[in-house]
Amino acid sequence: MLHAYQREITRRRAFRIGPFAVAAFAGCSSGILQAFQGESPSEPPEVTIVQFNDAGKKLGTVHLKKVVHSEAEWRKLLTIDQFYCARLHNTELPFIGGYYRLHDPGIYHCICCNNAVFSSDAKYDTNTGWPTFSAPIAEENIRIFVDEGMIPARHDVLCKLCDGHLGFLFEDGPPPSHKRYSANEAAIHFVPRSAK
């Protein structure tokens, strides 16, 4: 009888505490997502990236404030597919669009902030259906986030200027780097190489 009474008290306590626990978890997970996406109420940090002109010529390093927007602002700035891939860290279906088979010379920029992230000089075919590169245009322009929550651990490729999710890094690429940067077409846009 005593055990049944104690179980009933525990159940009542769970029903009373449950909604608060869910709300606390939602607030906590929202804060984690904001931190991961670089969203913060404080002043955005400064980052160093390398800038390039449309001819692919390196212009030098610059120090810029990280591009930060709220989720609502990103939704207004991007299409649904762009937001799904670049801000929610998802992957589009393979063989969508045409960048995976594009061989024109030029630079691929982050769809969110226009930071140069890949060059056609490092692009190669993998028959995977995603545009693939052996290296970024500059190591300073991207960062790798290792998602230990996935098995095996997933290596997300992010734009350093805005934390936009560009795609994934794999270690099965061609020599000498043996890197395969698999990008989402929705997360990048191509600028043809100019003559200047």
Question: Where do the domains of the chain lie?
Answer: 1-36, 42-192
Q: Is the pLDDT of residue 10 over 50?
A: no
CA of 167: how far to CAs of 84, 102, 152, 196, in Å? Answer: 12, 17, 16, 30
CA of 105: how far to CAs of 4, 36, 108, 192, in Å? Answer: 74, 33, 10, 6
Query: Which pLDDT score, from 0 to 100, does residue 190 have?
Result: 98
How would you classify residue 34: left for phi > 0, otherwise alpha for psi between -120 and 50, otherwise beta? alpha
Q: pLDDT, tens digit, for every residue of 23-39?
A: 333 343 344 344 444 44
Query: Which pLDDT score, from 0 to 100, does residue 47 have?
Result: 97
- The CATH number of the structural domain formed by 42-192 is 2.170.150.20
Q: Residue 163 and residue 67: Cα distance in Å, rounded?
A: 8
Q: pLDDT, tens digit, for every residue of 62-99?
A: 999 999 999 999 999 999 999 999 999 999 999 988 99
Three-class SS of residue 172?
A: coil
Q: pLDDT, tens digit, for every residue of 156-169?
A: 999 999 999 999 99
Query: Which pLDDT score, from 0 to 100, does residue 118 have?
Result: 98
Neighbours of 122 (CB within 10 A): 17
DSSP 127: S
Q: pLDDT, tens digit, for every residue of 122-164?
A: 999 999 999 999 999 999 999 999 988 777 888 999 999 999 9
Confidence of residue 53 (pLDDT cuts 50, 70, 90): very high
| N-to-C CA span, the chain | 87
Query: Which pLDDT score, from 0 to 100, does residue 147 have?
Result: 85
Nearest to 168 by CA among 138, 139, 146: 146
On whether the CB atoms of residues 164 and 110 are closer than 8 A, the answer is yes
Cis peptide before 131 (omega within 30 of 0): no
Nearest to 40 by CA among 49, 30, 50, 25: 30
On whether the CB atoms of residues 67 and 162 are closer than 8 A, the answer is yes
Confidence of residue 8 (pLDDT cuts 50, 70, 90): very low
On whether the CB atoms of residues 193 and 120 are closer than 8 A, the answer is yes
Q: Is the pLDDT of residue 21 over 80?
A: no
Cis peptide before 176 (omega within 30 of 0): yes
On whether the CB atoms of residues 177 and 128 are closer than 8 A, the answer is no
